[in-house]
Amino acid sequence: MKNQEIKKIETLLEDWVESTRHDRKDNILSNHLPDAIIFDVLAPLQYQGAKAYRESFDEWQPPFKIPSLFELSELKITAGDKTGFAHCLINCGGTLPDGKEVRDTVRATFCFIKTEDSWQVAHHHISTPAKLE
């Protein structure tokens, strides 16, 4: 049973990755709860809901050639009966219209809630280490 639930979460994350790589903006958050709290690398500190996060995409998403680089590594998933979480590294970037290559690695944590028969993202957090001087 738990292996089956882990596979469902893994599939959900694979869909998120493919939607992101192919710039399918309206699909990227299709498995997020409407009231999901989202923290990302760029300001603001947090987004209150999937809609607010979606509305910000055009402000900060670089215009990479499609498909862009967006792949998970070191993915670990834990699933209970009604909650689950995952953490990983994300290798991201791509080629800009001027040919410049951009690459970065960030860390990610996801919190899931099972609703009916599907898993939904209740919270996701993308971050990069701060350099303290």
Q: What is the 3-state secondary structure (H, E, C) of 59-113?
A: HHCCCCCCCCEEEEEEEEEEECCCEEEEEEEEEEEEECCCCCEEEEEEEEEEEEE
Domain definitions of the chain by residue range: 2-127
Cα-trace Rg, the chain: 15
pTM of the predicted protein model: 0.89
pLDDT by position in tens, the chain (length 133): 569 999 999 999 999 999 999 988 888 889 999 999 999 887 777 888 888 878 776 666 778 899 999 999 999 999 999 999 999 999 999 999 999 999 999 999 999 999 987 999 999 999 988 777 7
| CATH node for 2-127 | 3.10.450.50
